Chain A
Amino acid sequence: MSATSPAVGDRLVHKEFPPITRHRLALYCGASGDHNPIHVDIDFAKQAGFPDVFTHGMLVMGYLGQALTDAVAPSRIRSFSTRFAAITQLGARLTCEGMVTELIEQGGEMRAKIALTTKDQNGEVKLAGEAVIAV
């Protein structure tokens, strides 16, 4: 990657995803092993005080991870973390972005920190995270 080493300010990550559907939440429930009914059973969600089911945070982080490894080889990723800033509603159209914020020497190699965000179609931040990658 030496010829294309990222620089601070580079917008390395950008990907848009289709609207979140109930069907997608049901599939993710099975595919992820997260069987919490709050994401697929509207009766359970209402009883817990929510107007409807809502997206698994880890589905949204899965999209963010996908956007990340579209831009960075999986073997280069040293860490990946996020805060779940807001609930992602049904119908949300998510955009994942990442920008290089810092180059550091760590663990005997050069690494870059990438600030990551996932926003919905209204620009509301759903996930705010960071990845550290080897460069």
Chain B
Amino acid sequence: MVDQTAVGREFTSVTARVEPGRLRFFLDTLGEANPVYRDETAARAAGFSAAPVPPTYLFCLEMMDATVPFEFLTALDIDLGRVLHGEQRFDYRAPVVVGDVLTFKPRVTGVTDKKGGAMTLIVIETEVTNHAGVHVADLSRTVVVRNARPS
């Protein structure tokens, strides 16, 4: 079971480029028709230098370009079939647009047992910077681990 010793643990940084084709696949999947995400003119009119990414897309970019998928699970010896997403937070500090190259730096900031150890909540915070070194966002993900019952 994951315990407090995991707090402070850092995982491999992820570098991801905001590519228009991949972004369009995401927009199409969600039926997102807002022109600000699809049309450069609309994006510029809304104050962006190019099409911005939708509010949850940073989470996807980190997963898409991770060299070790679900690294935090293997590193902490957690079975993929036992995790659920508990909470997610995004703090936006600067625009992220098509063409940006982003670096994600994830680390464990909290481990809490719930329901007498039946569940463990793990908080992973990820700082995101762009190619110019601007700190553009912070992500916070709470993962719920359904622990095996002792037999």
Contacts and interface: CB of A to CB of B under 8 A. Distances in A.
Contacts, number: 117
Contacts of A82: 87-89
B12 to A, nearest CB: 15
A121 interface: no
Interface string A51-75: 0000011110111011011100111
Contacts of A5: none
Interface in B37-91: 46-48, 52, 54-56, 59-66, 69-70, 80-82, 84-91
A28 B89 contact: no
Where chain A touches its partner, the secondary structure class is: helix
A56 B52 CA distance: 23
Of the four ranges (under 10, 10 to 19, 20 to 34, 35 or more), the interface on chain A belongs to 35 or more
Contact of B55 (A31, A33, A74, A83): A74
Contacts of A78: 91-92
Given A35-B63, A66-B34, 4 more contacts: A34-B63, A57-B88, A74-B52, A75-B47
12 contacts: A18-B31, A33-B65, A36-B80, A37-B80, A38-B80, A57-B84, A62-B30, A74-B54, A75-B95, A81-B90, A82-B87, A84-B88
Interface of B: 22, 25-26, 28-32, 34, 36, 46-48, 52, 54-56, 59-66, 69-70, 80-82, 84-92, 95, 140
Interface of A: 17-18, 24, 27-28, 30-38, 44, 47-49, 56-59, 61-63, 65-66, 68-70, 73-75, 77-84, 87
